[in-house]
């Protein structure tokens, strides 16, 4: 019974942290400096129930998207979030270098996939290799900001949860 209560506390804590991370999207921030990749990575690494690990960040993202506005490229964003959750599950919760590497990989994935979507869907660039290259080059400043945001939020979520686990012993006893 005690282990069940501890697991419930852990799940509620993780969901709360992911929800808080998603809510930061609603605050003023530099373009692409958000917690989207970090919350997906964190969910995948920390939530043992894989369905819940996938569902929580997607629902959090969707709810904030309702407030921010829906757009045509959202499917690609949601697919990237799902892929980063899988990266988190493969990375695990404890290895700092792997977590940092997965954060960078998630940033690169978002950059490549979503900007490819912009090139295909928006008609801003000619549908040539040169147009695709122009699309990626134009997005580099946004990638730099996204990469820094992903690393900052990844450190905040993983580091914050480790600090909570030290402060609340019942969180430390369950994976």
* Domains in the chain with CATH codes: 2-172 (1.10.1760)
Question: Residue 175's pLDDT is what?
Answer: 52
Give 10-residue mean pLDDT values along the chain (175 residues). Answer: 70 93 94 95 95 96 94 92 97 88 98 96 93 97 96 96 89 62
What predicted TM-score, i.e. pTM, was given to this entire model?
Answer: 0.92
Give the pLDDT confidence score for residue 4 in this predicted structure: 60
CA angle 86, 79, 117 (to 5 degrees): 140
Nearest to 15 by CA among 173, 46, 115: 46
- Per-residue confidence (pLDDT) for residue 14, from 0 to 100: 93
> Distance (Å, rounded) from C-alpha 169 to C-alpha 17?
18
Q: Are 76 and 113 in contact (CB under 8 A)?
A: yes
């Amino acid at each position: 019974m005690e282990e069940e209560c501890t697991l419930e506390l852990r799940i509620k804590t993780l969901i709360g942290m992911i929800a808080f991370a998603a809510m930061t999207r609603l605050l003023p921030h530099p373009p692409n400096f958000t917690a989207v990749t970090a919350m997906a990575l964190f969910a995948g690494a920390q939530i043992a129930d894989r369905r819940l690990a996938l569902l929580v960040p997607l629902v959090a993202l969707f709810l904030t998207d309702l407030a921010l506005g829906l757009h045509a490229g959202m499917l690609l964003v949601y697919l990237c979030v799902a892929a980063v959750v899988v990266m988190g599950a493969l990375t695990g919760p404890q290895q700092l270098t792997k977590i940092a590497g997965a954060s960078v990989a998630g940033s690169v994935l978002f950059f490549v996939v979503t900007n490819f979507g912009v090139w295909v869907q928006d008609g801003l660039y000619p549908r040539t290799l040169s147009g695709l290259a122009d699309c990626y080059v134009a997005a580099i400043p946004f990638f730099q900001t996204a990469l820094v945001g992903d690393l900052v939020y990844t450190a905040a979520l993983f580091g914050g949860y480790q600090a909570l686990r030290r402060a609340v012993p019942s969180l430390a006893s369950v994976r």
